[in-house]
Amino acid sequence: MPVQGITGPARLTFEGISITPAQDALLFHLVPEDAAMIAKSFDVARRILEKLPHTPIAAMGINFAYEVGPLEGQLTKTVAWADDIGELIEDDPDAKVVSRNWQLGIAAMGHLVNLACQSNAESGSITVNHHYEVEGSAARAAETLASDGLFERLLATTNQLVGRLVKGDSNEG
């Protein structure tokens, strides 16, 4: 229901899981520390796909988001090239870069890992999307979701990647 004239997608929470239906997606909201919730959410998503095998599925993704400090560790190296760009505005000798955003895709582990970083003077964020092409197949998406330990593997890999980005030594885990 709209709240003070603001509308948005409904978030449905029942039997220990939370879902937001959208026009072209079902979004499952997970709590990484709640193994039962994760298992149940993956099972429900898999069963939905199995019950609706005719549904065209363009892709499937598992997303993680992190709040980090402004330009910590390795993140400073990823945007160092931009530090002097403010000086290109000749009409203002005090012009300086105050926020930075970048994104890239990494082909790894049989899927695409999309990484996006944002930083300003006060804060930063890193989002990671594990993107699976499923070639329009609900059955293939269900099969991917049924992989034992999928969420745990992706969470561990993502935590390691983000940890290395925000630490000063890229060889630390």
Domain boundaries, the chain: 12-166
Residues 6+ apart with CB under 8 A from 22: 9
pTM of the model: 0.84
How many Å apart are CA 48 and CA 28, to the nearest integer?
12
pLDDT at residue 173, as a whole number = 39
Strands (E), the chain: 12-14, 17-22, 25-28, 59-68, 99-108, 111-120, 124-133
pLDDT at residue 4, as a whole number = 66
Which burial class, exposed, middle or buried, applies to 109 when counting CB atoms under 10 A from its CB (0-12, 13-18, 19+)?
A: exposed
Residues 6+ apart with CB under 8 A from 134: 57, 58, 59, 60, 140, 141, 144
The predicted-structure confidence for 68-87, as pLDDT tens digits, reads as follows 887 777 777 777 778 788 88
| Secondary structure of residue 75 in the 3-state scheme | helix
pLDDT at residue 58, as a whole number = 87
Burial 139-155 (b: 16+ CB within 10 A, else e): ebbbebbeeeebbeebb
Which residues of the chain register pLDDT less than 50? 170-173
